[in-house]
Amino acid sequence: MTDIFSPVRLGELELANRIVMAPMTRDRAGPNDEPTPAMAEYYRQRASAGLIVTEGTQPSPHGKGYWRTPGIHSAQQVEGWRAVAEGVHQAGGKIVMQLMHVGRAAVAANKNPDAETIAPSAIACPDPIAGPDGVPVATVMPRALETSEIPGVIAEYAAAARNARAAGLDGVELHCASGYLPMQFLSSNSNLREDAYGGSAQNRVRFVVELLETLAAEIGPGRVGFRICPGVRFNGMADADPAETYTTLLRAIDGLGLAYCHLIHIPNDGFDALELVRTNWSGAVIENCGLTLEKARAVLEAGKAEAVSFGYLFIGNPDLVERFRSGAALAKADRTTFYTGHGDDHAGYTDYPAITGRGTA
């Protein structure tokens, strides 16, 4: 029987327990998309998680789509992340950076004036996205990438992974879900390309496969994970056959020796995503999506995953692991402050009390 509090190894990542803090956008970066002291404190408070996956972090200015999200492409940003990593490590935790290029899921007002919005095909994201004032607005029409430009985008990711390691983070997670750039290549309705990166499932997975191969070569495969959500329709995704797409993807990358697959497990007609992953992927799995402690334990005890991740519960409970262990009551996070921060604003961010004293009372 697998204990949720037992240690586990995911690639090169040695976790003290199997409870992972899932990536969550909080819109708290500084004016130059740099991590702030408040961000460093926020992650330090939650370092009892076996692993922290950071909020989505843009590998280049072109990859930004949301207001106040952090980057990892400037010296100032690297230094900000260094403070984050040091705080987590001093508190005994492990932390990896989620690399998130939003592609077409972008609002021009949230980006630098000279930053482009790019995608596999010139098809706008149909879902509105919040602008700087929090009001959702229509997304911009992306420019379709030329085939010759794709290696340059992959190189931006590679530089971001090197920067993350230089800042002291333990690895990276490639965000391949939520309708962002990698998923835009994967999905048949957002990828209408006629070159080697479009058409068949084998072609549509090529961008993600090359990305993961490159990240593995840059920082070592055991420090690279990836996050998927087969069948999700967020940000206009509507793949004609997600089971085929993700079977093709998983089989293509199974031999790379990557650290883990982080699965957002949602219901799908015709297939179960966790079964699909387990059938086509021999590596470690982190299960995510609406888990309670009881459900998480059942997943681990059944051998369906090596670790489990929680999102919202970590916002209001900086010491979630200790609360799970002791049976203490869980605090409820204030949803009205999820995305209201400005730089070093601590309200609804670092001011949730922790029963162990790890957080700020």
Q: Indicate whether 193 belongs to any domain.
A: yes
* Residue 348, helix vs strand vs coil: coil
pLDDT of residue 345: 76
Q: Is residue 234 part of a domain?
A: yes
pLDDT band at 342 (very low <50, low <70, confident <90, very high): low
pLDDT tens digits for 107-148? 999 999 999 999 999 999 999 999 998 899 999 999 999 999
Task: Taking residues 276-284, report their average pLDDT.
Answer: 98
**Dihedral sign, Cα of residue 63, residue 68, residue 71, residue 74:** positive
Q: Is 136 exposed, middle or buried (0-12, 13-18, 19+ CB in 10 A)?
A: exposed
HSE value, Cβ hemisphere, 13 Å, CA-based, for 199: 5
Mean pLDDT calculated for residue range 292-305: 97
Whether 354 is covered by a domain: the verdict is no
Angstrom distance (rounded) from CA 52 to CA 93: 8
Q: How many Cβ atoms are within 10 Å of 165's Cβ, its own excluded?
A: 18
SS3 136: strand
Q: Is 218 inside a domain boundary?
A: yes
The larger pLDDT score, comparing residue 225 to residue 340, is at 225
Q: What is the pLDDT of residues 2-28, one digit of tens each?
A: 999 999 999 999 999 999 999 999 999
Give the pLDDT band (50/70/90) at residue 312.
very high
Residue 186 lies in a domain: yes
Three-state DSSP class for residue 224 = strand
Residues 262 and 265: their CA atoms lie apart, in Å, by: 9
Residue 122: which CATH number? 3.20.20.70
Which tens digit of pLDDT belongs to each residue from 160-173?
999 999 999 999 99
Task: Write down the pLDDT at residue 1.
Answer: 72
- Reply yes or no on whether the pLDDT at 357 is more than 60: no
**Rounded-to-integer distance, Cα 220 and Cα 16, Å:** 21
**What sign for the dihedral angle of Cα 360, 96, 55, 277?**
negative
Residue 360 — pLDDT band, cuts 50, 70, 90?
A: very low
Q: Report the C-alpha gap between 285 and 182 in whole angstroms.
A: 19
Helix axes 75-90, 150-166, angle to 10 degrees: 50
Please report whether residue 347 resides in a domain: no
Say yes or no to pLDDT of 272 above 60: yes
What is the percentage of the chain residues whose pLDDT exceeds 90? 95
Domain-located, residue 181? yes
According to the model, what pLDDT value does residue 358 have? 46
Domain count, the chain: 1
Rounded to whole angstroms, the Cα distance separating 313 from 21 reads: 9
Percent of the chain with pLDDT over 70: 97
- Inside any domain, residue 79: yes
pTM over 0.85? The answer is yes
Structural domain boundaries enclosing 172:
8-337
Q: Which residues are catalytic?
A: 180
Output the average pLDDT for the chain. Answer: 96
